[in-house]
Amino acid sequence: MIIGGYTMNDDGVHGITVTETEAGWSFYMQGDDADNFRSAWELAQEYGSNFGEFLYDHEYNTLFQ
């Protein structure tokens, strides 16, 4: 799924990979971290946040390598 300059690949049980498309930086989460990410993103969508804002608001942007 491409969301405003980011690609999110949710592999369900295996985890989530988020990639910043311009720089190619990415991070990967699994287990409880991935579940928490999914829940927080679903809630943020209900309040109208875009994906970039969501990453910065929850400091996920610090995980890009």
**Residues 27-36: contacts with CB under 8 Å, at least 24 apart:** 27/60, 27/63, 27/64, 27/65, 34/10
Report the percentage of the chain scoring pLDDT > 90: 77
Dist. CA 36–CA 50, nearest whole Å: 17
Q: What is the pLDDT of residues 30-49, one digit of tens each?
A: 999 999 999 999 999 999 99
Q: Is the pLDDT of residue 28 over 90?
A: yes
Residue 51 confidence class, pLDDT cut points 50, 70, 90: very high
CA 14 to each of CA 34, 36, 48, 59: distance values in angstroms, whole numbers, following the listed order:
9, 14, 27, 22
pLDDT score of 12 more than 90: no
**How far is 43 from 45, CA to CA, in rounded Å?**
5
Check whether 22 has a pLDDT greater than 90.
no
- What is the pLDDT, as a whole number, of residue 4? 75
